[in-house]
Amino acid sequence: MKESIFLIVEQGAPFEAGDFIPLNNSILIAGRKGTNWDPDLSFRNIFVSRKHFAIYYKDHQCYIKDLNSKHGTFLNHRRLNAHEETILKASDKISLANDLIKLSVASIVDDTSDIIPIIDGIEKRLSKEFYLDPIKQELSWYNRTWKFSEKEFKCIDFLIKNKDQFVSKEDLIQCVWSERSQNYGGTFDVSNEEINSIIYRIRKKTKLIISIENIRGKGYILSFINEKNSVI
């Protein structure tokens, strides 16, 4: 199973806390934008050099290197020597500009596209930051917010309340489409296309943190990705 490195912003303008930065290119240069220079990852801070640090792949390893920045690049609270290659690993923490900019390192599993955050203490932040707002019909987590339609919210609310447990299609239909008339035999008049469509939209919106597994076409199990992969 191939893993690649992924960055999560904890703080650092112009990004918001929780922003994800994929490392799709062979090299990423972080720094501050200039008249004739626009780095791959640009921060608005006078303590950030034009070319501050680089992250790149070599021999199937991911490395970070300080580019002789004036105020330094810190990896796990240790200042890197200029131009010295250091292996970058999941759970590492990068900081610069007197800790005004903080990044955490995560891994991404390429064959499933599941993002596996492994920041220290993320499980505590998940329970602290996670919130379902029934009035606004929103899900909030780690300073990020996802908006849902009325039926999408009913669906995800019901699945989360039964997290890590099997929820049958019949129970889900009764919760989400309770206004529908029942057919002969007591089943609700809801097509598979309607169910699949609403599950697809929820998956698309929440793919960074939530997994919804289809169990043999009979129902679903919702789990949080970091808990599902047991990486904490």
Tell me the pLDDT band of 158, cut-offs 50, 70 and 90: very high
Please state whether the predicted TM-score (pTM) of the whole model is above 0.95.
no
Angstrom distance (rounded) from CA 202 to CA 210: 9
Pairwise pLDDT comparison (194 vs 208), residue with the higher score: 194
**Which residues are within 8 A (CB) of 78 and not within 5 positions of it... i.e. 6 or more apart?**
none
Helices (H), 61-121: none
> What's the confidence (pLDDT) of residue 19?
79
118 pLDDT above the threshold of 80: no
Tokens (6 digits) for 105: 């390192």
Pairwise pLDDT comparison (144 vs 119), residue with the higher score: 144
> What's the confidence (pLDDT) of residue 108?
54
